[in-house]
Structure 1
């Protein structure tokens, strides 16, 4: 995976039972999912739960994240922090909280590479019914997240992953406020769809060991993209590993779910610059995942969303361009009935969809102040399409 790793460092973990075996420096041995199904029965309780927390210089958030795991109504059996190229106190803080720590040095494959390293050891010896929760180091789970996720996964043997529905954390000023509104709308949409989602969020997702093995095996056999030839569960060649893993699960015939009762809080980007970088990576990654998988029954809805997104960019450019031309030419801007009707519909949508945040935010949304982030995101989308089209070097 283009990296050097050090052996597991372990801490006494009050958040787990007396299991002390850590992940070693090993590669995943793919197993046949059909054989896995045959040798084990489907267990409603899901077996043991191991939490993997990939962390790169997360000293500011790791303690709170681990505290949220310690407060779970269904407490995890193991908590492993993957200290990936850390130069701050992340590793020591995790050990102080009782978590196990795996240290990677020289990992050039970011989060995907760190997770593949840890999973390479875990999947080797784990039972197919055991569960693995992958969680970002800057996200805190609601107290019943694991309990609810285990229940959902246990109720449906075809379910490949249970993801979370996230809200935005505090801070970030005006740009943070806009992201919290955006996440509230996302939560509303997922709830209305009864948990059906297009992507299992990387902020927190629960998987069966058996499922992750089937993904790794499919990459080895060439059924799924191999990720720079390294294989493993996560494709290390992409910008959005959670989006690609969702494609992989759906391609293998699994379903994915983000139930309304699996909630968490995640960090918001504190500046416009950081939000631009995040959303540009998300958008370009989503576009390139579509190209990577091609036109299939699985990817058709994703291609449809990209088509609508491109149409939105063109309409926005035309709208803004017509206003600029009218002002520049001296013709003035005239209010036509059709545009007034479109504006009224837009305002109504802004008000209704932010209802989860309360009536004050609903009244504020009616002022159309969020137009600023709508235009911002259209610019991000335009840049992502241009970068993908001209194959501009990826930077993360």
Structure 2
């Protein structure tokens, strides 16, 4: 490993590809001086506009799937307990990536050392204050100018593990040119006790919804997504031209939910995205209620503030609609619980009127059916309503807090 100016260590990725016509352009290491970096970025050609189709969406030029070069970027902050499993899942892919880069972001443990033992390239961040988004931008700023139409960039979390067919199917969809990015659907890893169980049920329901919509998802998950390199290049160009919010980088470092914001950016450029049933993975669950509350507050508030940044557009209208439904959900569950409390306190027992009785039955059926893939035990728990009601009320409380913080512009916290 060699030192990087400004702190950290790095092994320059092997961009040169033997026999590749682009190889001569890939000799420069990923770690360059700031003067050289500025020169490369400002002189990089801007991507050509992609053609539009009847549905108003744009496509990219199709390429051969077996000709695509896949670079995987794994931002990692003190992930020594997870990083080897993540890399192993990449090694087990039916279509292995061509290059794996672990971005050691302000690590104080053995993450970089363990990753290097796995035979991947390591890049250390330089004075990064912007968490995952900042770490990825430092690498992508150097990487994107030397990538071409046959390149794909996969970004995945250091606590995730891909199922074997993920990259093969993802590259297959990208190669058609119809989709600018392909994300995954995920299930939760074991652990976390009751709070972990609730999250695994929630993820199973989300995956079911995406399957029923044939891969149509609202967000390209940060757990694992593959992008056409030209897509990311256009995002940077659009930010530079102020057609999109944020500084001229791939990820907007001002926001709490960089993956959600990047999804909106890609959609506003007219591209299609997909989360197909074949691209699956597992990811870590939050082990405590406190950590889960912190995570979900960031997600929910960040999603709302992303919409404020983009305003009311044809792309954001469905997202605004979901925010409205969330607000209605808070009101409904408050009224539901209030009516139960009133029955117990003033009427001496639970006495639901026909309206709330119908709501209860519908809710119970939905809970049972939507968790069917998790097995009979989880279906039985869901049928009681009371057990999963704890988790639903918890999420609604976090959602209400997110609305309140966003409205009063409270300090953003990761």
TM-score by length of 2: 0.88
Structure 1 counterpart of 2:271: 254
From 121, 141, 145, the counterpart of 1:120: 141
State how 1:207-356 maps to structure 2 within 5 Å: 207-226=227-246, 230-329=247-346, 332-356=349-373
| Cα RMSD for the two superposed structures | 2.2
Distance 1:8 1:79, change over 3 A: farther
User: Following the alignment from structure 1 to structure 2, what is the Cα–Cα distance between the partners of residues 320 and 286?
Assistant: 27
One of 219, 222, 227 as aligned partner of 1:199: 219
1:166-177 equivalences under 5 Å are 166-177=186-197
Q: Tell me, which stretches of 5 or more residues in structure 2 are unaligned?
A: 19-25, 52-59
Q: 1:178 aligns with which of 174, 185, 198?
A: 198
Q: How many residues align?
A: 385
Note the alpha carbon deviations across 1:68-116, whole angstroms, 9 max, x for none.
1111111111100000011111111111111101101421111111101
Q: Which runs of 4 or more aligned residues in structure 1 lie more than 6 Å from their structure 2 counterparts after TM superposition?
A: 16-20
Task: Tell me, yes or no, if the aligned pair for 2:12 and 2:30 is still in contact at 8 Å.
Answer: no
Task: Show the counterpart of 1:111.
Answer: 132
Shift of 1:7: 7.0
User: Matched residues in 2 for 1:359 and 1:322: separation?
Assistant: 31
Q: How much has 1:127 moved relative to structure 2?
A: 1.6
Select the residue among 109, 114, 125 that pairs with 1:93: 114
* Whole-angstrom CA distance in 2 between matches of 1:83 and 1:339: 52
| Secondary structure of 1:80 counterpart | strand
Aligned-partner Cα distance in 2 for 1:185–1:5: 45
Alpha-carbon distance change, 138 to 342 in structure 1, aligned in 2, over 3 angstroms? same
2:405 maps to what in 1? 387
* Deviation string, structure 1 residues 31-68 (Cα, Å, up to 9, x no partner): 4221799xx95313152110000001111100110111
Aligned match of 1:33: 47
Q: 2:394 aligns with which of 373, 376, 384?
A: 376
Q: TM-score, normalised by structure 1?
A: 0.92
Whether the 8 Å contact between 1:53 and 1:81 is mirrored in structure 2 is yes
Note closer, same or farther for the CA distance 1:327–1:365 as it changes in structure 2 (3 Å cut): closer
Residue 236 of structure 2 contacts residue 250 of structure 2 at CA under 8 Å; is this kept in 1? yes
The 1-side partners of 2:173 and 2:147 are apart by 21
Q: What secondary structure sits across from 2:294 in the alignment?
A: helix
**Which sections of structure 1, spanning at least 5 residues, go unmatched?**
none
CA 1:12–1:196: 2 relative to 1, 3 Å: closer
Give the structure 2 partner of residue 146 of structure 1.
Answer: 167
> Structure 1 residue 6: deviation in Å?
4.5
User: For residues 71 and 346 of structure 1, what CA distance do their matches in structure 2 show?
Assistant: 40
